[in-house]
Amino acid sequence: MLRLVVRQVSYEQRAFWRNRARAFFSFLFPVMFLFIFATLNGNARLTEGPFRGARFVTFFVPGILAYGITGTTFTNLAISLAYLREQGVLKRIEGTPLPRWVYLAGVVGSAIVLTVLLCAVTIGIGVVAYGVRVRTETLLALATTVVVGTAAWSALGLAVTGLLPNADAAPAVVNVIVLPMSFFSGVWFQVFKPKWLVDVASWLPLRPLAEGMQHAFYSRTPAPGFLPRDLAVLAAWFVAGAVVATRTFRWQNAGR
């Protein structure tokens, strides 16, 4: 079974990279934004908020990485699986000897591989091109936040797939969820007012992911750099997404 999962992950990876448009928007889109915003803001420093005194790129690299993780997991899974269901591919999977859980494990595993690659590329660009420092004292907290956040957004991607009425609705629904959330979750810029909006965002999955990684990069964060509340929120979203996915995920469109 493990060999089947590995082979399925390999197949999903080949299919992903052969679709250049999909690869661009899922993987290279956040990297492009990193170049644009980091270049425009240069060495500007934050003058207020919880990361006061930090360089903008130190704040933005983990923030855009959080947005990218959302794209490689939630967005990628929800849209691609909705289209595969619409085209009848998922229905045909049920008629093959391949266990359904192995297929889904391959799809999610491929998303995790993309997340690892995205982390390496984004952080690597931040370090080499913009002088961002990866702190060894908080590296475990950074890795833990990425793992828990990836699990949460992957589960939510499967959950949303089951709730989508059809493939045409997938991009619109996903963007309505992710884009507004990214603006008040501290991905593009600091958001600490109004307080009620910050409080709402703190219970959604994107802000805890971004904040946890930004906290790990911030030079004044004491070791080991964990934010237990943010990890707990992400873990809760993982459980909620997994529960909804097991109840709602469909292998064919309703009425077929």
Q: What is the pLDDT of residues 165-181, one digit of tens each?
A: 888 999 999 999 999 99
Confidence band, pLDDT 50/70/90 cuts, at residue 120: very high
**Domain extents in the chain:** 2-248
In the chain, DSSP finds a helix count (H) and a strand count (E) of 12, 0
Give me the pLDDT at residue 254, please. Answer: 65
Helices 206-217, 228-248: crossing angle, 10 deg rounding: 150
Sign of the Cα torsion 106, 112, 116, 122 reads positive
Tell me the average pLDDT of the chain.
91
Instruction: Please check whether residue 72 is in contact with residue 49, taking contact to mean a CB–CB distance below 8 angstroms.
Output: no
Q: List 55's β-bridge partners, or say none.
A: 45
Confidence band, pLDDT 50/70/90 cuts, at residue 29: confident
Confidence band, pLDDT 50/70/90 cuts, at residue 2: confident
Mapping DSSP to helix (H, G, I), strand (E, B) and coil, where does residue 191 land? coil
How far is CA 87 from each of CA 18, 82, 90, rounded to the nearest angstrom? 19, 9, 8
Give me the pLDDT at residue 22, please. Answer: 76
Q: What percent of the chain has pLDDT over 90?
A: 68
CA distance 122 to 63: 11
Give me the pLDDT at residue 117, please. Answer: 93
Confidence band, pLDDT 50/70/90 cuts, at residue 59: very high
CA distance 30 to 34: 6
Nearest Cα neighbor of 59 from 153, 135, 132 is 132
Give me the pLDDT at residue 49, please. Answer: 76
Give me the pLDDT at residue 42, please. Answer: 67
- DSSP-assigned states of every residue in 220-248: TPPTT---HHHHHHHHHHHHHHHHHHHHH
Q: State yes or no: pLDDT of 57 exceeds 80.
A: yes
Q: State yes or no: pLDDT of 45 exceeds 90.
A: no
Give me the pLDDT at residue 1, please. Answer: 79
Q: State yes or no: pLDDT of 24 exceeds 80.
A: no
Instruction: Please check whether residue 219 is in contact with residue 135, taking contact to mean a CB–CB distance below 8 angstroms.
Output: yes
